[in-house]
Every structure is written in C-alpha cells, then in structure tokens.
Structure 1
Amino acid sequence: MASLAPARSQTGEADNFFRTLAILMALIIVAGFSFQYLAGRSSFAARPLVHMHGIAFMAWVGLFVAQAWLATHGPIALHRRLGWIGAGWIAVLLIMGSLISIDVTQRGTAPFFFKPQHFLIANPLSAIVFAALAWTAIRLRRQTDWHMRLHICAMTAIIGPGFGRLLPMPLLMPYAFELAGIAGLVFPVAGIIYDRRKYGKAHPAWFWGIAAILSVIPVSHLIANSAVGDAIYAAVTAGHPGAKVPGLEFAPAPMPK
C-alpha cells in the first residue's frame, strides 16, 4: 500500500477511523488463517508455493497496517518510501494469487465448496480488482480522500479468504464464494456510514470500490460457465490430476477423519 492519508490532510478522528479499519482487516486475515492452523486443516509442511503465497500476502498485510500507522504518526518520508515498495509488491500479489489458483486447480484440490472451474476464474479476477484499486489509490495519492478509501476497498477485494476461513463455508453452498466476498464489504459499508455521519454524504470512492468488488461475481460466473471458461480449465488442467475433476460440479465433501 502506498499510503493511507497524510496526517496533515485529515482530522485526528478520521485518522483513527481509517487506521482502525486497517487493523481490523488485518486481524480478520490473521484470525482466519490461524484458525485453520489450530484446527489442523493446514500446516507448515505445505509445498513451497503455498509458503511463498502466504509470505507474500502476509507481508502485504503487515505493510498495509504499517502504512496506516505511518500515515497518521509519521515519519511521512518513510511512509512514502515504503509506498513505492508497496506499488511493486502489488504485482507480486497479482502473480502469486494467480499461480496458487492454477496450482490448486491442476492438483484437483480446490475446496469442495467451490466449483473448480469457477475457483480458477474468480480468484485471479479478485486479484485483478485488488491490483486495479490499489494502483488507482497510489495514482491518486495526492487526493487523500480518494486515496485512503480506495486502499480500504482494495484490501476488501482480497479479504474473502480470511473471512472464508472463519465462516461455515460448507453451509453456505452453493454461494460460498459470493458470501465470503460480500462479508468483506462490512468495511467499505462502515466507511459509508462514517462519511454520512461526519460529512453528511458518502464519498464516491466507496461506491466505485464496492462496484468493482461486486463485479467479480457476475463476470466470473459468465466466464466460468462459457466456452471460454471450458477452454481455460481444459488448458490449465491438461496433463494434471485436475483434468479428471469436473470443472462445473461441486466435489463430494471429504469424510471426517
């Protein structure tokens, strides 16, 4: 994240609000992945790509919170320098998010509450929306009202996996992906409520961000359920165990151990 908002441009109350949102979002992600580890559904014995993916995204979470803090407490010079690192790191997340989706689909191990073909399409689309929102926020860094709100929206675009690890996903079928993503909208909605109470109206950045995030739902289904989706799935899984997994069917739930 390039930054949230320079302290001079916002009141202390606004600073506290956006910093609190950033911290809460980070806590959701950490809690979700920690819960999976404690429940025995994940371990440090995972293959290297999983570790690389986890390190890349957790590094972003740490940078996200650090930048929210530096934006309000300084030093602003460090905040700006780290911001350019964040601009490059977005590309890393875009690549890693796509690679892990491809790898899981090829292995035929997509979560059973997702259709593999939809999983393959929807996850990279979420990463693309995240990158678009985050890079737009960086481009608008001098317009701090847009800047900080778009960064919150960008983080919302990729918080679904964190929420998904806390929600009873099997019980949310066949809309598990959609509901996990929608759950994250609690943060921009909180921003809308805050703006209306403080300024009398909601900032348009929230609506642009929410629209971008929600666009993943219809677009991913449109592609996944088309001939294009079939071709992508066939090309990605060719020569891998995933080729034997029906792309547009839910896999049977795993039996309890």
Structure 2
Amino acid sequence: MATLSTDTPRPAAGRSDTRFFTIMALVMCAATVSGFVLNLALGRSSFAEPATVHAHGIIFMAWLGLYAAQAISIASGNVALHRQLGRAAYVVIPVMMVAGTAVMVHSAQARGGPFFFAVNEFVISNAMGLYCFGGLALWALRVRRHQGWHRRLMLVAMSILTGPGLGRIIPAPLLIPYAWPVSIVITWIWPLIGMWTDWRRHGRVHPAYWWGMGINVGVFAVSMLIAYSPVGYAFTEWLIAGTPGAGRPMAPFLPPGFGG
C-alpha cells in the first residue's frame, strides 16, 4: 500500500474531484431512494411490515443521509463536521450489518425472498454483498487521511448499497433466471464511471478502484459459487426450514397468475 502517500492532488484537480464525488454521492443516494419510492407508488410494497423491516429501513436511510452529508460537508469546506460524521459512521456501519442480516433472514423465512431471485442467491450472495460493503466502508474510514483512497473506496462501498434501489427499478421478473446477477452488475456502473473519470482527468485509474472493485467482484463471484454449492443449498434449506419461505421453489419463478 505504498501508493497511499502519492495521491495528493493538485489544488485545481482536488476541487474538480470534490465536485465529482459530491455529485456521485447525491446521485447514488437519489437512485437508491427512487427505487423504493417507485415500489411504494405502484403498490408493490407497503408499511404493513414488522418492526424488523422498519428498523432496517430507518437505519439504512440514516446511512444515506450520513453519506450525503459527508459529501456536502467536505464540498463546502466544513472539515470539522465531516470528521464528526465520519466518527458516527464507525457506529452506523456495524448497526447496518446487524439490521441488514436480520431483515434478510426475515424475508427469506417469511416469503423466501423476492420470487424473481433464487432463495440461495438471496440468502448467501445478498449477505456477502452486505458484509463486503461494511468491510470496504470501514477500510475507507481507516484511510481517511489519504483522500484519494478514502473517497474512492467509499464510492465502491456505497455502490453496493444501490442494488436494492436499482433492483426495484429494473423489470426483474422479465430477467428470470438472471435477475440476481443483473441486479448486482448494474451497481458496477458507479465505480466504472469513477474509473473512467480518473483516466480522463489524471491519465490513470487510481489503485483504490482496482482494489475496491477487485474485492467487490471477487466477493460476488465467491458468493455465487457458495450459493450454488451443496453447502449453500444446505444452509439455505436449514435457514428456512419450517417457515413459510420453505413453501416456494428454491429457484426463481413466476407466481401463478402473475401479470394476468
């Protein structure tokens, strides 16, 4: 990680980068929220859910607000506030891991997860993606003194969380049996935009993107291998055994009368 000390940008480039990361943060947050708002407006979801789901929603929306506030605070030059928000993130991120795991278990047991995803994909790949976010976000906080690494690692981490929002915008039932990998791959557009911007502005892609995306893509690939292994199937079946979620097929499917 010797490159950590070489990422101090020129003043003009630093201001340009700050604008870019602020815009990206706000766009990613808006895209994530839009997916949930669209689902609510179309009647695909409601507030008639147990406390676990509401707590998860509040905690993750709090993170979106925190992430956006961090971007805005540094763009406005309020470094003191940015640092205070960063300390809060050390608390929020582990809470997100717990809340995210709890709501995934609830969804798997209550209905087997969304019908257009395989249950084993939803349980294992989804969980590993969440933990990948947590690991990358905490790494970004640890290298906060190295602005180039901090910003880019946090962007890659945040891109993972856009999956649930973007997944509610795409026509997932029409993408069966590939709805899950498609919903993951589309989140890679955000880091790819960042990598292209780096190359255009600086003539190279910052190593933080290579590390961040290497880990992100690698975790996804491993998660799918595990999900479709005997161990993955056995764990999923154990998790949903004796619950309503066990009543649906393991593979993605269209419910009877869907779209009719």
Aligned to 1:184, the other structure's residue is in SS state helix
Q: How does 1:38-117 map to 2 (within 5 A)?
A: 38-117=41-120
Q: Work out the CA distance in 2 between the residues paired with 1:246 and 1:218.
A: 23
Deviations 1:111-148 (A, max 9, x none): 11101122110111011110111011011111110000
Aligned residues: CA RMSD: 2.0
Q: Which runs of 5+ in 1 are unaligned?
A: none
- Given candidates 226, 231, 255, the residue that maps to 1:228 is 231
**Following the alignment from structure 2 to structure 1, what is the Cα–Cα distance between the partners of residues 187 and 119?**
22
Cα distance in 2 for residues equivalent to 1:109 and 1:128: 21
Q: Please point out which of 127, 134, 138 is paired with 2:137.
A: 134
Look up the SS of the partner of 2:117 in the other structure.
coil
Q: Retained in 2: the 8 A contact 1:117–1:229?
A: yes
What is the correspondence of 1:206-245 to structure 2 with a 5 Å cutoff?
206-245=209-248
Tell me how far 1:216 sits from its aligned partner. 3.5
C-alpha distance 33-127 of structure 1, shift in aligned 2 (>3 A)? same
Query: Is the aligned partner of 1:12 residue 2:15?
Result: yes
Q: Partners in 2 of 1:256 and 1:180 — Cα distance?
A: 21
2:123 equivalent in structure 1: 120
SS in 2 for 1:181: helix
Instruction: Check the 8 A contact 1:98/1:123 in 2, yes or no.
Output: no
Aligned to 1:195: 198
Letter in 2 for 1:64: Y
Give me the identity figure in percent: 39
What is the CA-CA distance between 1:234 and the residue it aligns to? 2.6
2:253 equivalent to 1:251:
yes
Shift of 1:168: 0.8
Maintained 8 Å contact 1:141/1:147: yes
Q: 2:3 maps to what in 1?
A: none
Structure 2 regions of 5+ residues with no counterpart? 1-7
Cα distance in 2 for partners of 1:171, 1:208 equals 33
Are the counterparts in 2 of residues 159 and 181 from structure 1 also a CA contact under 8 Å? no
Q: Counterpart of 2:176? A: 173
Residue 242 of structure 1: CA displacement?
A: 2.0
Aligned to 2:4: none
Distance 1:42 1:244, change over 3 A: closer
Could you tell me whether the CA contact under 8 Å between 2:124 and 2:226 is conserved in 1?
yes
Report the Cα distance in structure 1 between the residues aligned to 2:21 and 2:115, rounded to whole angstroms. Answer: 36
Residue 10 of structure 1 deviates from its aligned partner by 6.1
The one-letter code matched in structure 2 to 1:102 is: V
Q: CA deviation at 1:9?
A: 9.9
The residue identity in structure 1 corresponding to 2:141 is I
Say whether the 8 Å CA contact 2:113–2:245 is kept in structure 1. no
Q: 1:210, CA displacement in angstroms?
A: 1.6
Letter in 1 for 2:193: A
Deviation at 1:256, TM superposition (A): 4.2
Aligned positions, number: 251
Query: Contact between 2:25 and 2:71, CA under 8 Å: does it hold in 1?
Result: yes
Q: TM-score, normalised by structure 2?
A: 0.90
Q: 2:222, 2:106 → 1: CA distance? A: 22
| CA shift digits 1:214-242 (9 cap, x unpaired) | 22332122111222112311321133122
